[in-house]
Structure 1
Amino acid sequence: MIEETATILVVEDNRTNLDILRRLLRPHEVLAAADATEALTILERARPDVILLDIMMPGMDGYELCTIIKARPALRDIPILFITARTDEESLIRAFDVGGSDYVTKPFRSKELLARVRIQIAYRRALQRLRKMAVTDELTGLYNRRAFFAEGFALCNEVRARNGTLSALMIDIDHFKQVNDRHGHAVGDRALRLVADALAQALGAGGLLGRIGGEEFALLAPYRDEGEAIAFAEVLRQTIGALPLETDGGAIHLTVSIGVVCRRLGEVGLETLLQIADNRLFKAKRAGRNRVFPVPGDRPETTNGPDPA
C-alpha cells in the first residue's frame, strides 16, 4: 500500500490491465485513458502526480505521447512510468530517451509496481517542495523578492497585451524596529505574518503580492484606475490598523504606510512603476506615517511635485 494519496493517470488500452491497475492503486484517484488522444484531453484539465503509460497503443504509441508531454512546459515535470510487455534493451533505452522516469513490465508484480509508483510520487512531491521553497518567503508564505519580480514581469506582459492599467502599492510597517526592540523578534515575526495574511486576504485572486525585504511588501493589482487603487490602499491601512497583535504586555496595533501608483503599461514598465510607488511611500512616511500617499481624493500629479518617470 502506498502511504501518500495521489492522482495517477493510467494510459492503457487493455481493459483487463486497466482494471488490475485500478485495484492495485487504491485508494488513489485514478484517471483512465484508452489512447493518446484521450490522455491529452485529460491533461488539459488535470495535473496528475504520475503517469503510467503503455508503450503499445492504437494510433500514437507511448513513445510519441511521452515526447509530446515532455515538450509542454506545464506537463514536463510529471514523472512517466512506462508499462510494457517489451523487455528488450533497445525498447527500454528508448523509453528513457524520450523522457520516461522508469518502467514496469507486464504481467505486473504488484509489490514492484507499487514501489516504483511510490518512488515517483515522492520525487514529484520533493520537486514541488523545492520549487515552492525557491519562490516563497519562508516566514510569510508570500512570493520572495526574486519570484515577485519574475511573476510581476509576466503580469505586466499580460496587462500590456490588453492595453490595461496596473496599480502598484508599496507597503511598509511603521516603526517595525521598535516592535522588535520592545517585544522581541518572535513578536516581530508574528507581526510580519499578520500583515502578510491581511494583505493576501484583501487582494484575493488576480493580483500579485510579495515580501520584497524586511518589513516592506509590494502588491500589484491589474485593471484598476488610480482612484480605485488609492481607495483599496486606504482600506488596507485601516484593516491592518484594527488588527490586534498579542504580546506578553497585551495587544498592540500596527500601522502601515502605503505608496500607490497606477499607470497604463504602454507608458512605463514594472521597475519604473514600483519606483514611483516607492517614492510615494517615502512621501507617506515623511508626512507622518500611518497614511496612504496620494491621500484619497487628491490628484497625485499635483501633490508634492511630480513623480519620477
Structure 2
Amino acid sequence: MAEVGVAAEDELTAGAPAPDLLSLHETIAGMFAKQGDWRRAYEHLRSALDIARAGSLRDTLTSSYNRRYLDQRLPGLPAARGLAVALIDLDRFKHVNDTYGHLLGDRVLCRVADLLQEELPPDGFCARYGGEEFALVLPGVDAPRAVRIVEAARTRVARHPWSELQPGLRVTISAGLAHASAGPVSAQRQLLRADNLLYAAKRAGRNKVAYHDRETTHVITHSE
C-alpha cells in the first residue's frame, strides 16, 4: 500500500493537470491516512484546502480574480500612496452574444481579461466585477499614471485583432477611473465613483476613459 501512495505522490509532482490537483491531493491524503501516516495525510489535506481557497477567489470563466476577491482585498488597501479603481465595461456586448453566440462571447470575455491584466503595476490586479464588467485596482500609483494605465488597456482592447476570432468582430471597452490619494476612502464609495464615471464614458460615445480631477470630469478623446 505504501508503494501506491508514493506512486501517486510522484504523479502529483510530475505535473498533473491543474484542474485535477484538488482531487489528487485528497486521494493521496486518503491513501496516507489508511497507512497511518497522518503527517503526510495532513500535508496533502492542507494543500487541497489551499487550492480550494484559491479557486474560490477566481472567476471560473476568465481565471481573473472574482467579485469575492475584490470585496475582500479592496477595503484593506491604503489610499495614502494613491489608490485607483477603474470599472470597465465591454461596449455593446449583448450585440456580440446575439450576433455571434454565447460561446464566442465567452472567448471574448477571456481575451479581454487577459488584455486587461497586461502591464499592471506589481500590486495591481484585475477582477471580474460581474457579467461583462471588470475592475482594475491599482495601488500605489498617482492619478496621471493611473490614467495612462487604464487608457493603455483601452487601446490594447480596441487594437486587438478580433477578426481572427470571427470576421467582422470588433470589441471595445469603456472605463470609469476613480483615484484617491489621501484620507480614508471607503471601498464602496470608490466603486460608486468609478461606476458614475463609467456611465460618463458611455454617454460620451463609448470606447473612452472618464476620470475626475479636483475641478471637473474629463473624458479621453481619441480616434480608433
SS in 2 for 1:257: strand
Q: Equivalent residues in 2 for 1:55-204 (5 A)?
A: 112=35, 119-154=41-76, 156=77, 159-160=78-79, 163-204=80-121
Counterpart-to-counterpart distance in 2, 1:287 and 1:176:
17
SS in 2 for 1:3: helix
More strand by share: 1
Match of 2:139 among 195, 217, 222: 222
Q: CA 1:133 to 1:267, structure 2 compared with 1: closer, same or farther past 3 Å?
A: closer
Normalization by structure 2: what TM-score?
Answer: 0.76
1:256 aligns with 2:170: no
Counterpart-to-counterpart distance in 1, 2:139 and 2:191:
14
Counterpart-to-counterpart distance in 2, 1:201 and 1:248:
20
1:3 aligns with 2:15: no
Contact 2:90 2:132 in 1 (8 A): yes
Q: CA deviation at 1:243?
A: 1.4
Contact 2:178 2:193 in 1 (8 A): yes
Contact 2:201 2:210 in 1 (8 A): yes
User: Counterpart of 2:196?
Assistant: 279
User: Counterpart of 1:90?
Assistant: none
Q: Which has the higher contact order (CA 8 A, sep 6+)?
A: 2
Contact 1:166 1:265 in 2 (8 A): no
Match of 1:303 among 175, 196, 217: 217
Structure 1 residues 32-67: Cα deviation after superposition (integer angstroms, max 9, x where no partner): xxxxxxxxxxxxxxxxxxxxxxxxxxxxxxxxxxxx
**Structure of larger gyration radius:** 1
Alignment length (residue pairs): 197
Counterpart-to-counterpart distance in 2, 1:248 and 1:170:
25
Structure 1 residues 131-152: Cα deviation after superposition (integer angstroms, max 9, x where no partner): 1222111001122112211011
Letter in 2 for 1:189: D
Q: CA 1:2 to 1:246, structure 2 compared with 1: closer, same or farther past 3 Å?
A: farther
Q: CA 1:130 to 1:248, structure 2 compared with 1: closer, same or farther past 3 Å?
A: closer
Letter in 1 for 2:148: A
Gaps of 5+ in 2: 1-5, 15-31, 219-224
Q: CA deviation at 1:267?
A: 4.7
Q: CA 1:151 to 1:292, structure 2 compared with 1: closer, same or farther past 3 Å?
A: same
User: Counterpart of 2:126?
Assistant: 209
Q: CA 1:247 to 1:235, structure 2 compared with 1: closer, same or farther past 3 Å?
A: closer
Q: CA deviation at 1:200?
A: 1.4
Counterpart-to-counterpart distance in 1, 2:214 and 2:197:
9
More helix by share: 2
Poorly superposed stretches of 4+, deviation over 4 Å: 115-118, 246-249
Q: CA deviation at 1:204?
A: 4.8
Q: CA deviation at 1:286?
A: 0.8
Structure 1 residues 99-130: Cα deviation after superposition (integer angstroms, max 9, x where no partner): xxxx99xxxxxx947x6566345423321232
Contact 1:164 1:222 in 2 (8 A): yes
Counterpart-to-counterpart distance in 2, 1:245 and 1:187:
11
Gaps of 5+ in 1: 7-26, 29-102, 105-110, 305-309
Q: CA deviation at 1:202?
A: 2.3
Counterpart-to-counterpart distance in 2, 1:208 and 1:244:
24
Contact 1:148 1:208 in 2 (8 A): no
